[in-house]
Structure formats: structure tokens, C-alpha cells
Amino acid sequence: MNDSKSRFRHCVAFNYAIFLCVLAAAPASAALAETENEAAPLNYFLHSYGPASTPTMYLGWAFVALMVAIFTIIALLLAWAVLRKRTVEDPRLIGREDEGMPWIYIGTGVSTCILFALAIYSLVTLNVVAKPTHAPALTLTVTGYDWWWKVEYEDDDPAHRFVTANEIHIPVGLPVLVKLKSADVIHAFWVPMLAGKTQMIPGLTNQQWIEADTEGVYRGQCTQYCGVQHAHMGLEVVAQSDAEFRKWQDAQRKSAATASVTGIDAGKQLFLDRCAGCHTIRGTEAVGAHAPDLTHLKSRRLIAAGLLTNTPDHLVKWITHAQDLKPGTRMPSMVLTATEIASLSAFLSTLN
Amino acid sequence: MTDAAESSPDLNLTRVPEVGSAPIGSADEIHLAHLWESAPGWRGWLSTVDHKEIGLRYLVTAFIFLLMGGIEALIMRLQLARPDQTLLTPEQYSQLFTMHGVTMIFLYSLPILSGFSNYLWPLMLGSRDMAFPRLNALSYWVFLFAGIFLYASFPLGEAPNAGWFNYVPFAGLEYNTGPNIDVYALGMVLLGISTTVGAINFVVTLFRMRAPGMSIDRVPILVWGTLTASVANIFAIPSVSLAFFLLWLDRQTGTHFFDVVNGGKPLLWQHLFWMFGHPWVYAVVLPAMGIVSDALPTFCRRPLVGYSAVALSTMATMLLGFGVWIHHMFAAGLPTLALSFFGAASMVISIPSAVAVFAWIATIWLGRPVFNTPFLFFAGFVLLFVIGGLSGVMTAAIPLDFQLNETYFIVAHLHYVLLGINVFPVIGGIYYWFPKFFGRMMNETLGKWSFWVMFIGFNVGFFPMHLAGLLGMPRRIYTYAPNMGWSTVNMVTSVGSFVFAAGILIFLVNILISLKRGVLATPNPWDAPTLEWAIPSPPPAYNFAVIPFVASRHPLWEDRLDEGAGRSSLEQGYLLMEGRETIGTTPLDAIPDIILKMPEDSYTPFFLGLFSALAFTGLLLHWGAFTVLMTVACSLSLIVWMWPRKALVQRVPDIKQDTGAVHG
């Protein structure tokens, strides 16, 4: 009886050890995952590049360190409580009820103090990330659509306003105010390495600020379930030097220069016939408002809201097989002949 | 008898209940069995109001739903095991994750606990049934029909598909034109009826149906847990039923509660849903925590440390649980000040949980653990509870939640909470009470295997989800690209989930084998302290041959605890056998108050449940005349149900001479 009990105690200890190894192995495997794939573009836990997210990252580290420590202490206490040796007694004996209250007093007391400190730390952090220290240098409105992002750059001068999609450029080192709207269902705007997420609720305008302190491309993703292609509703924020940003901004403000290019009339006509109901190309008769503005399509790094890189091949594949690549998307798979594809590609390739 | 001057000649409203004993096989005992047993065959099956039968049905039905939800999860894990998989279409994935959530949260987690409570409450409280046996039967039938209703559209590919949280306007008619959401809305209103009547039954049962002497500070913690959850449900269910009813009106009659174009407010849905949703989260864990608080001490050979503290913390959790719903909406763009209050409240709610955790650890520490399968499940539960609680504290930190919200970190957290705090105690509880349910012990070897496979599989499966969340993986995506850095964690999670499923399978095999070949159980195979172990396994239809007198929290350990509180009387007690009868007692001190005449078996709960489900089906399919017909049928059922009968008139007992014995 006693022997089998001690054998069993070893068995429990052994299995418990396996369990703790599993927990320990998990972070290691995650770190491995990151090196394997070179990057986890939404890894906000280890990477932050702006004042709206860096205090939160530190908060996250503090919490994780503390939680791991608390867990370890409690797990060891529990293991000790289970496995500690007892003097052999009559198995029918029952322990007294009124013992053990110090466990509750001390455990709850310490927990309360820790929680109080954590609450203060998180509220202080909330205060820091809630608003920028100085006035935003730039205001833009991002509107969520099923399943892409419309981006409007505001300006006091109406002639300087412009619209683009799925790719936000910001000047580095300056706070940017992002007004968040939705054209259909609830989405959420999340560029984790720059800031936390905020819902985009139809009928309301939410606000969020982002600021990048390093040049680079930051991945964003919709994080509120919004329908079948919620998974493929990505965006990118490109943070660049002030000069680069101004150059980009000036280019985006211009209308498409399709008139000056020859040999694209067939493609242009095809676009006007088949695509202009939804898409806009400024400077042409295409003024559709249901889909991304394509005036400067070629300037973007990705197409289909972050699904594909913007190469001519991908573009053709997307136009002809949108429903295979992103089933349920509002973009139909266009049935086009080889000639039509060629002329449409030629036309689209001019949208610099 | 002598004080019956005021009653009419043929209706004697006072009676002195006879005190005596009725050993098994005695004439009195045979008479009782005859009074309480249901008719054999399908008639008894449809008409029974026996809480034990209903409790087992709840357990079996809810467990079947757990298996269905589990299979849905496994299919999703196949889809997510590797990047860019095409096993499922996005729409299939949407329906699967929605039904997985709906099933686990609404059709498994509360009903399984209702099953335990239905079966165990009268046995733990020393009563012969719940306060409202027919209402109990109705609660089960409506739950069953609501479950079938919610699942009926699945084979047609029209299952709910907007997530269990069902946010508008995505769930509105404009973006969701099929019947999917109507099924969900009507199913939830129907299910709400079941939960509400069940909750009312529990509350009244606790306050009126305890054995004489079982004062409020002597009830098992499971009873506290279920009571707290039931009170919460009575307040929370109206919010969600209203939300779904308004949504259904929006969709079917063109009202504008949530319709933005006409001034409706999508945020209203989020508030209504989470005002319900958060209390519900506690409602589906507090009774399970109660299971552990009651059963763990049996295997530690000592009473629970800090009974009063744990009971109070149970209620404190629930009270605070009504003030933290905004923490599901931290990303909704609400004012910072409002977020701060709810964030702080969400931290505070961890304090009562800490009370419970340290009470359990102290109980193990000070006890002499017996390593039976139930003990393993309960001790494992404590560890999972801690992990789920700590990750919950992280989500209460508002700025951190701006990042964690809607990522797999939340998925990890909620699975640690719902599986760790609900499924582990439930399976441990089944191992523990199986001998009481079926009169046979479960196999220990298979039991230990099932625990370790489940425990390891669970942690391998769900712990990496925390990391997926920290790596930025959003929830509810049907696939992901290989360059996101989520491939390894997802593969590990998928493997772990199948290991976990294997553990569940071992458990099921154990049940099947033990039902047939398990060792026959004695009345109290674990040497446990509470009343349900004082009666044979399985219990007779009447539960207690005599209503016991209770003198302490641990009636079956009294001789060894020797706390000087007197001795409970289990063999001698009220006989009460003029028809189906039990004793009603006062709410706090449990002083005998009334002789309750309990109803006979009845078909009306079944038919009322059936007709209401059919009425809802009529609403769904726009069959106007059919709906009206079924509503009339419901009313007729209610008239039959409520028809006054002289046999059920309650008697006031003349118990003055007995109260001394109770508290002696």
C-alpha cells in the first residue's frame, strides 16, 4: 500500500515535470518560429516602433515576467502540497476544519497588493498612450470596407486632399491622428508595432494616433470579425523621412497621367467598361466608389488588401481569379481574353 | 391535528409529520418507492419529473454537445494546422467557429453544470426533489429543443455565422440575408426560457428545500456556486434575450434598434450582449469551482479550508462580475476615464479568485491527499485556474488589452478558463459521482490515463495559443500566410488538440466499460462527508426514506470531526408518505415550515416545451397560422399544468416539539 503510494507519487512528479517542460518549451519554440520565418510582422510583444505602443510593450514585459513568477511560485507550492511526505496515520482520520486560514489571509493579501500595483502601472501607461504629447502633424481618415481600407489624407486646402487605399504613408517622428470610420460592418484598425487596436463602428468616428520613430513598413490587420474575408484584410503603414513622405504625398495628389501615354486606349476603354463601376482613377471617367482608388496603383507594395505583392503577374492573377484567391471578396473574377488581359495590364502599368 | 379548527371539514391544513425510520425493504420504504417511481417504458420517460433522471439527461445531452463542439474544433484545427490550407471554405469556417462557440458556451458549459446541480442538489440538501419538479422537466425539454433548433440549420449550410458574440451590423439583415442569424436569435430566446426557469427553480430550492437543521452556513459550496450563478442568470438573461429579440425585430419587421442608416446604434448591441456575457462567464465557472471545493476535500481527508471565505468569495465574484462587462469593449473607442474604472474593477475581480485558489492549496497542503482520478482532475484544475486567472489579469490592463484583444491570446485565456475551470472539474466530478449515478465505480487505470493525456494534450494545445496571440495572430481568421511567423505554434496547437481529444476518448471508453463491468459501489465509496453519500448508490426514486435532521456541514464525518455541534440524524426523520411529500424549511435556519405536496409525473412539461419550440420554428419559417396554433397549444398546456388540484394543497406542519431535536 505504502510502496504503491510512493510509486504513484513519483509518477505524479514525473508527469508534472513533463508538463512544466512543455510550458518552458513553448516560448522557445515561438522564438524559433520567428527566426525560421525571418519575421513575424505583427509581433508586438517583442517589437515596437512608436511612442503609442512602446510603453505598452514594456507593460507587457512587466506583466509577463510577473505572471510567470507568480505561476511558478504557485505551481511549486501546489506540487509541494501534493507531494510532501506525510506521517502515516489512520486513513479514516479527518483533519480539523478550522486550520489553514493564514494561507488565505497571506495569499489574498499579497495578491491584492500586487493587483493594486499592476492596476496603477496599467492606468499610468494608459494615460501615456492615450494621446500624443504634441498636436498631430497630419490627420487622415481610414474607412473600413469589406475587406479593404480607404485612406483619405485631409488638408485645409481641398485641392491637396487625396484618397488612396490599403497603404498609409506617414512621416517619421511625428504624431498622426487617424480618424476611424466604417462603411459597412464593424472592423478594427490595428498596426500593432505602432499602437493598439480601435474598432471602426458604422455611424461613429473613433480616433487613434500613431507615430513611428523609425523608418520602415509596419503591417496592420483588421481584428474585428467582419465576414468571410476578415483574414485577408491587411494594410501597411510606410514610415519615411519627411522629404520622402512629401515626395510621395505630392505624387499621390496628382491625377493619373493616362492621357500622355499612347497605346493604352484599348486597356483604358476596357477598364471604363468593366471596372469603373467600382473603382476610381482620378483624371479619367472612372469614378466608382465601392472599391479601392487605383489612381496610383503601381506605387503600392501590395494588392488585394495585403494578400499579394504588387507584381504584374499577381495583378493579372488577381483580376482573373479574385474569387479563388480571396473567396467571397466583392471583386469578381473577370473573364477576359488573352488580348484583353494584355491591354488591361498595359493600361494599369501606367498608373504610377 | 388539534389546531385545525380554521380549516374546512374536508381540507385539513395542519398535520404533525410523523418521525420514524424506514429501512430498505420495510413496508414504508416499499410504499415510498411506489409513490415516487416513474411509470416504466416511454410513458415514464416522457413524463418523469424526477430530478435525478432530469439531471442525468442534462449531463448526457450537454456532453453530446461538448463532443459536437469538440469535433467542430478539431476540424478547425486541421484547417489551421498549416498556413494557406484549403480544407474549409471561409463560409464553412465562419459557421464552424460560430457554432463551436455557441455550442460550448450555451449548450455545454451551463447545461452540464445544471445537470450536476439538478442531480445533486436534493441529495446534498436532504430533500426528495427540487422545488418545482415540473418546471425542472420543462427546463430540460426546452434546452433540448433549443439545442436541436440551433443545430437543425447546420446540415443545410445555414448555421449562425457571425460569431457567438454576433455583432451588428454584420448580423443585421443587410449583411447577413440568410436564415442563419434568425436561427441564432430565436434559438437564444428559446434557450433563455430554459435557463431562466431553471435558475428560478434553483433559487427557490436552496431557500426552501433544505433538510431541517441545514442552516445556510451548512450547505455545500456547489450549492453556493449554483445559487450565485442562478441569481446572476435571472438578472443577465433578460439582457441577452432582449438583444436577440430586438435583433430579430430589426431583421423581420424593419425596426431600427441597430440599423445605423436609421439612427440605430451598433454599440447598443455590444453593451447588451456583454452585460449578459460577462456574468455568464462566471455563471459557467462558479458551480464548477463549487464541485472542486466540495469534492477535493474528500480526497484530502479534511474539510475545505475557509468555507465561509470561499462561499463569500463566490458571491463577491458574481457581484463584481456585473461591473466589468466593458473589458470586452476596451477597443470600442470609449472614453479613457470610463475604461479606467472598468479596468480597475477587472483587476479587483481577481481577489475573490485568489481566496479560492489559496483555500484549495491549503486544503491539499494540510490534508493527506489520496491520489485517485478525481483528485488528479481537481489538482490539475487548480493549476489551469491559475494560468487562466493570470492571463485574465493581463487582459484587464487596458493598454495591454488594446494589443491582446481579439488575438489568440484571448482564445488561449478563455480556453484555460472554460476548459480548465469547467471541463476539468466536470470530468473530475463525473469520476467522483459516477458511483452515485450508476452504482458502479469507474476504472482507475483508465481514469489516470485519461487525466494525463487530457492534461498534457490540453497544455500542448492551448498554451501555444498565448504565443500565437503575442505574435499577433488575430482571432477568427480561416487561414494565414506562411510568412506571419505563426506556423509552428499553430502546428503544435493542432497536435495538442488531438491529444486532448484522445484523452476525452479514453474517458468515454472508461464510462462505457465501467457502466457494464465497474466494481459495484457502496453508498459512500470515497468516505465523503455530504448527505448524498448517506443513501444507496444509485439512489432510490424517493432519495431519502426519511428526511434527515442535519447538525453540521459534514454529516458523515461528524463522529471523526467531533466539533461538538451535535449529531445529525440520518436514520430517523420525517416519514412524509401521504403521497409525494417533502419538507419545506425556513430560508436561513432551515426550521421545518411546511409540508410540500410534490406533483405527480406529468406530460405537460414535455408538450409545453415541444409546442414552444414549434412556435419558434413557425416564427423562423414565417408560418403565421402554424405559429398561432402552437401558441394556443402552449396556452392549453399551461392550463392543464396549472389546473388546481386539491391533492397539492400544502400543509403547515406542527413542528414545535421537533425544533429542539434539530438543533440539539
Asked if the model's pLDDT at residue B274 lies above 70, the reply is yes
- B528 Cβ contact partners less than 8 Å away, ≥ 6 residues apart: B295, B298, B556
Q: Are B543 and B122 in contact (CB under 8 A)?
A: yes
Q: Kindly list the residues from chain B whose CB atom is less than 8 angstroms away from the CB atom of residue A77.
A: 361, 365
The pLDDT tens digits of the residues spanning A243-296 come to: 999 999 999 999 998 777 778 889 999 999 999 999 999 999 999 999 999 999
pLDDT at position B272: 97
In angstroms, the CA A68 to CA B318 distance is: 27
Which pLDDT band, with edges at 50, 70 and 90, does A206 fall under? very high
Residue that the C-alpha cell 458551480 belongs to? B287
The pLDDT tens digits of the residues spanning B102-156 come to: 999 999 999 999 999 999 999 999 999 999 999 999 999 999 999 999 999 999 9
The pLDDT tens digits of the residues spanning B365-412 come to: 999 999 999 999 999 999 999 999 999 999 999 999 999 999 999 999
pLDDT at position B2: 39
Residue that the C-alpha cell 455545454 belongs to? B108
For chain A, the average pLDDT equals 91
The pLDDT tens digits of the residues spanning A44-58 come to: 999 999 999 999 999
In one-letter notation, the amino acid at residue B20 is G
For chain B, the average pLDDT equals 93
CATH architecture assigned to B45-517: Up-down Bundle (1.20)
Q: Go through chain B and tell me how many residues it has.
A: 664
Which of B91, B93, B98, B170 to probe by mutation at the A interface, max A CB count within 10 Å? Answer: B170
Helix (H) or strand (E) holding B295: helix B286-300
In angstroms, the CA B250 to CA A48 distance is: 43
Chain A contact for B407 (CB, 8 A cutoff): yes
Q: Kindly list the residues from chain B whose CB atom is less than 8 angstroms away from the CB atom of residue A99.
A: 305, 366
Decide if A96 and B333 are in contact by the 8 Å CB cutoff.
Answer: no
- B104 Cβ contact partners less than 8 Å away, ≥ 6 residues apart: B65, B66, B69, B418
In angstroms, the CA B434 to CA B537 distance is: 9
User: What's the mean pLDDT in A145-159?
Assistant: 95
Q: Go through chain A and tell me how many residues it has.
A: 352
Which pLDDT band, with edges at 50, 70 and 90, does B183 fall under? very high
Q: Which three cell numbers stand for residue B139?
A: 427546463
Give the other-Cβ count within 10 Å of B4's Cβ.
16
Terminal alpha carbon distance of chain A: 82
In chain A, how many H helices and how many E strands?
A: 7, 12
Asked if the model's pLDDT at residue B646 lies above 50, the reply is yes
In angstroms, the CA B646 to CA B211 distance is: 25
In angstroms, the CA B545 to CA B572 distance is: 9
pTM: 0.94
* Structural domain boundaries in chain B: 45-517
Task: Give me the residue from A8, A55, A81 closest to B365, CB to CB.
Answer: A81
In angstroms, the CA B155 to CA B99 distance is: 12
Return the closest-CA partner of residue B126 out of B619, B625, B551: B551
ipTM of this predicted structure: 0.93
User: What's the mean pLDDT in B472-478?
Assistant: 97
Residue that the C-alpha cell 440568410 belongs to? B178
Shortest distance between the Cα of B233 and any Cα of chain A, in A, equals: 27
In angstroms, the CA A279 to CA A295 distance is: 9
The full 3-state SS of B447-509, as one line of letters, equals HHHHHHHHHHHHHHHHHHHHHHHHCCCECCCCCCCHHHCCHHHHHHHHHHHHHHHHHHHHHHH
Residue that the C-alpha cell 470531526 belongs to? B561
pLDDT at position B647: 79
Asked if the model's pLDDT at residue B9 lies above 60, the reply is no
Which of A47, A94, A111, A147 to probe by mutation at the B interface, max B CB count within 10 Å? Answer: A94
- A273 Cβ contact partners less than 8 Å away, ≥ 6 residues apart: none
Decide if A186 and B560 are in contact by the 8 Å CB cutoff.
Answer: no
- If phi > 0 it is left, if psi is from -120 to 50 it is alpha, else beta; for residue B472 that is left
In one-letter notation, the amino acid at residue B371 is F
Asked if the model's pLDDT at residue A14 lies above 80, the reply is no
In angstroms, the CA A8 to CA A4 distance is: 6
Burial class (CB in 10 A: 0-12, 13-18, 19+), B613: buried
Q: Kindly list the residues from chain B whose CB atom is less than 8 angstroms away from the CB atom of residue A198.
A: 331, 333, 402
Q: Which of residues 91-150 of A touch B (CB under 8 A)?
A: 91-97, 99-101, 103-104, 106-108, 111-112, 115-116, 118-119, 121-123, 125-127, 129-130, 146
User: What's the mean pLDDT in B198-203?
Assistant: 97
Return the closest-CA partner of residue B396 out of B328, B475, B450: B328
Return the closest-CA partner of residue B206 out of B287, B285, B268, B261: B287
Return the closest-CA partner of residue A126 out of B337, B409, B333: B337
pLDDT at position B664: 35
Give B193's Cβ-side CA count (13 Å radius).
25
Residues of chain B above pLDDT 90, percent:
91
In angstroms, the CA B627 to CA B611 distance is: 9
Q: Which three cell numbers stand for residue A347?
A: 493600361
- If phi > 0 it is left, if psi is from -120 to 50 it is alpha, else beta; for residue A203 that is left
- A25 Cβ contact partners less than 8 Å away, ≥ 6 residues apart: none
Helix (H) or strand (E) holding B642: helix B624-642
The pLDDT tens digits of the residues spanning A223-239 come to: 999 999 999 999 999 99
